[in-house]
A and B are shown apart, each in its own frame.
Chain A
Amino acid sequence: MNFKKILSRVLLIFCLWVILSSTSTAIAAPLEEYEIKAAFLYQFSKFVEWPELTSQESFTICIFGSNPFSKFIEDLETSEMKSKKVRVHLVTGTDPMDSCQILFIPRNEHKAAGIVQKIIPKRILTVGETENFLAAGGIINFIKQGNKIRFEINQKQAEASGIKISSKLLSVAIKVIT
């Protein structure tokens, strides 16, 4: 009788714990991956210097191919970077990319390496999310560590492209190629 009572109590507490912990996980659920990446693109602009940017009317973020950010693209479009209005362009391999400050190449673009090679001398911060993106000449590459988004930087390439990356940004990168 007594044992049963205790057992039922324990079960009840266990159930409550399961419910509570699952709900709390739901509440504190991490932001969606591309929400974070959109925010990071925004933050990158603060630690990177583009030469000759002042002459431009707006700050252009180009996304190659399809848009993986879905609705979070609006967060970028409504923000200001380097005191300029932000414009987001979806570009394809044939489009001119001279006006882009940031070029994001999503994971599903297999031609990434080729694109990067193509724009090397142009002062564009290339951001990718594939494993060998930096080796192919990309400048910043997102890496997922557990449920966290981190990034690595190819400083050598940035210098070659004429882009100045703040040492502060380098300090939080998980890997820096120099």
Chain B
Amino acid sequence: MKKFFGNLLIKQKLTLIIMLTSLITMSLALVAFSAKNLSGFRTLQKNRFAILAEILANNSQAALSFNDQKSAEELLNALKAETHVQAAVIFDAKGKIFAQYRPSLTALPPQIDFKESHFYTSEGLHTYFPVTLDNQIIGEVYIQSDLEEFRDYLRSYALFGILILLACLAAALFIASRLQRTISVPITNLTQLAESVSRDKDYSLRAVKENHDELGNLVDRFNEMLSEIQKRQEALVRSNEALSRSNRDLEQFAYVASHDLQEPLRMVVNYVDLLTLQWKDTSEPEVRQSIGYITEGAKRSQQLIKDLLEYSKVRSESKFETISSEEIFKGALENLQYTIETTEAQISHAPLPMIVGDPIKIKQVFQNLLGNALKFRRKEESPKIHVNAYKKNGDWTFSIQDNGIGIDQEYSERIFVIFKRLHTREDYPGTGIGLAICKKIIEQHGGKIWVESKPNEGSTFYFTVPVIHS
């Protein structure tokens, strides 16, 4: 019941409340009026028959006095006009039936007490009136009338009451359906406006104020909030545009810089190679050492620039298509085949789903994360890696779990920032770009990437991809 009421629209609720209130108050009033009227009717009926009995008693004085049953019967026969009289009897002073009029076979009272009285039974109204003459009781009149009259009255009253009730309810429905609009229409309008704002993200819409009550106030506040949101939305769009513009500039710069840096660096590497060849037989160790340092530095610079180029290229357009993440994963494994074999790594995986994404970029994510898992292994143990995927909140969540060295939780954010490294190059080689690339790719796909880890117990990298790509 409560749930049913709760699911109704405001206008239905208002109408229902008004209708229920009218119905209950009307019914109560009708019942009260009926009770009053019916008891009034009974009093009238009692009085009427008391008067009738008194008249009969008065007129039967002579008949009783002179033992004239015939005229007494004539007197009673006049009651034919009263169709509700079931029995009328004149008793003599001894309580014996003197004269009677019984249109139907009605039971007569067993004894009489020569007093004026009246009472109702299921058969009808019983009225007694004594016949007195010169202060002497010489007989008694008894009238029994049926309840048909009362029932007729009750029926017509009930019918009338129901008609009145229906008419009033119809009127209430008419009035309620009009009046409820003053409340429900502004609410409905506001609701529809809120729906279209939420659907179309159009914050320039405004609600129309119709009344100067709480609802009007609500409309004003709602409009204020809308204009506030609109202002912030516009500011956000502007700053987003500015941000992406500067981001684009920055990436352009990074791309151009790294691309242009490659050329001179290649020249440096070529000439250093030449120098290495010329000086390979030298007996001066300092020269060889210096050439070695130069070679190493140049190659690292080359790697850095290569990775930087890679990073800035992530931004470039992606081709989203439905792909089997399992095949992508296996492709990444092939690329890492050499490392897997040398580290004797054990890699297992659960069935991986079909997803929407750029196959090359997703492969890179797998490759970087698996590569890290292999790279940051514990010295005394061969790596064990498990890859899993499950659906949660409209996303596919992938997890890559390893048994490596782990990361302190306080660094779990920092590792995704470009060029951030937690270890020395001597311990773990790398440029510190891999996870930054992963983060960029996943965010491009509309997902998230994070890590859960404990030092020396291994790490689990998670990333999500929306099931339905927007």
Contacts and interface: CB of A to CB of B under 8 A. Distances in A.
Interface string B59-70: 101110111100
Contacts of A169: 62
A108 interface: no
A168 interface: yes
Contacts, number: 31
B66 A172 contact: yes
A148 B71 CA distance: 14
B130 to A, nearest CB: 16
A84 interface: no
Given A168-B59, A171-B59, A47 B71 contact: no
Interface residues of B, dominant DSSP: helix
A170 to B, nearest CB: 8
B382 to A, nearest CB: 135
B133 interface: yes
Given A168-B61, A171-B71, A172-B71, A40 B134 contact: no
Contacts of B59: 168, 171
B61 to A, nearest CB: 5
Contacts of A21: none
A45 to B, nearest CB: 9
A55 B240 CA distance: 132
B66 A43 contact: yes
Interface string A146-162: 00101100000000000
A118 interface: no
Nearest to B59: A168
Nearest to A148: B67
A9 interface: no
B71 A46 contact: no
20 contacts: A36-B67, A40-B66, A43-B65, A46-B61, A46-B133, A46-B134, A47-B61, A148-B67, A150-B66, A166-B62, A168-B58, A168-B59, A169-B62, A171-B59, A171-B62, A171-B63, A172-B62, A172-B65, A172-B66, A172-B71
Pick the 9 closest A-B CB pairs, nearest first.
A168-B62, A43-B65, A172-B68, A172-B62, A172-B71, A172-B66, A169-B62, A172-B63, A168-B61
Interface of A: 36, 40, 43, 46-47, 148, 150-151, 166, 168-169, 171-172
Given A168-B58, A172-B66, 17 more contacts: A43-B65, A46-B61, A46-B133, A47-B62, A150-B68, A151-B66, A166-B62, A168-B59, A168-B61, A168-B62, A169-B62, A171-B59, A171-B62, A171-B71, A172-B62, A172-B65, A172-B71
